[in-house]
Amino acid sequence: MSIDGLFPNLTEDNCEQLARFVTILKDVWPLKGKHRDQLKYDIRDMSRSLTNERSTRRKEYMTDAKFLSPYLYYFLPWNLFRLSRLFTGLELDIPEDGQVADLGTGPLTTVLALWMARPHLRTRRLSFTCVDIAPKSMQTGVKLFQALAGKDSPWRIKTVKGGFTEHLRDKADLLMAANAFNELDWSGRATRPQAEKLAAHMVGATKETGRILVVETGVRLAGRIMAEMRAQFLEKGCKPIAPCPHAGECPMPAMGQGPWCHFNFSTKGAPDWLEAVSAEASLEKDNVSLNFLYFSPGGAAHRGLVRTVSEPFKLHGGKGQYACSDRGLTLLEYAPGTRPLFPGQIFAPDWPSNPRTDLKSKALILPYKGQNTK
């Protein structure tokens, strides 16, 4: 199985859901007077605090009202936008009466994004187990979901206070963890055992026919986390669906100053109200990034495909683009007049018999003329 193109533009319906979300926020978590005036400063303070000590900050900002307000009005909607772009491009076809688990759910971020981005799932009977250490955040998320989807929604949500390895009663058809694992300490010798523990729990909690989705924000640290988690998933017999086009060694593991696998895309489709809030806080965005792993305990690995990763850039008077293949880091070299691919697209390559190596990146150079696109 492979996914040909990632991060398509949002649908009109998805844009409408994001646009009306501010009305839902104001109803569920209203801000009045000085609290609304203070919001831009709280957003800035929280943005700075997210670079501080990781071992305690999730508990702080998910339980303290001072942090929950800026999270709900700024960080949550931007995460909904990111996840909507991702979910739109993934095959997320959870069966009727399916089980979904969300680790480190916060205010049910991934559940909200899944409802916004995948309308074909809205009428299915699905059971969600949402796990987090902060009950107040989850309770707020439940209220947001009920306001978004209506109290007659066939989705059934159970919240559980617990950590990332909390025991799950039912194995999942889809097990998710988004913007969560970066809160842990990934320094030193704890990195590999921590990844092994998390991966073992996730694989054990997922059906053989199920899917595992891990999403992070796209920064270098997250790239290192993803490389460690990927290695553990492979070791436990899981197969990559996306973005990895192979099950070999990761060519972008964020080691030292080397590259890491992440995707940038524009903020086209973000609601006007969110851009206004961002501008007030002097935290405007014209692009966002993320990295992710989408694995299955069953299935077969891809063979011979190439996935574009970076945005196109100028190269020797033309354009180039970094990509991932089973031969390692790959540099696409576009012929003059050839339209570059979007980040996340996959294709069957036509490798030269003796490919050259880029002196700067050590990537194998793959000339691309526009053929063989899937």
Q: What b/e string do you get for 231-261 counting C-beta neighbours within 10 Å, with b at 16 or more?
A: bbbbeeebbbbbbbbbbeebbbbbeeeebbb
Residues in the chain: 374
The pLDDT tens digits for 282-317 are: 999 999 999 999 999 987 667 799 999 999 999 988
pLDDT in tens, 255-273: 988 899 999 999 999 999 9
Q: What is the pLDDT of residue 55?
A: 47
Confidence at residue 7, expressed as pLDDT on a 0 to 100 scale: 94
pLDDT-derived band at 57, boundaries 50, 70, 90: low
| pLDDT digits 0-9 by tens, 349-372 | 999 999 999 999 999 999 998 754
Residue 82 predicted with pLDDT over 80? yes
pLDDT score recorded for residue 1: 53
* pLDDT, tens only, 181-191: 998 989 888 89
Bond preceding residue 243 cis, omega within 30 of 0: yes
Judged by DSSP in three states, 194 sits in helix
Query: Tens digit of pLDDT for each residue in 205-236?
Result: 999 999 999 999 999 999 999 999 999 999 99
* Residue 373 scores a pLDDT above 50: no
More confident residue, 79 or 258: 79
**pLDDT of 38 above 70:** yes
When comparing pLDDT for 65 and 184, which is higher? 184
pTM score = 0.94
Residue 169: burial class (beta carbons within 10 Å; 0-12, 13-18, 19+): exposed
Q: What is the mean pLDDT of residues 132-156?
A: 96
SS3 category, 97: coil
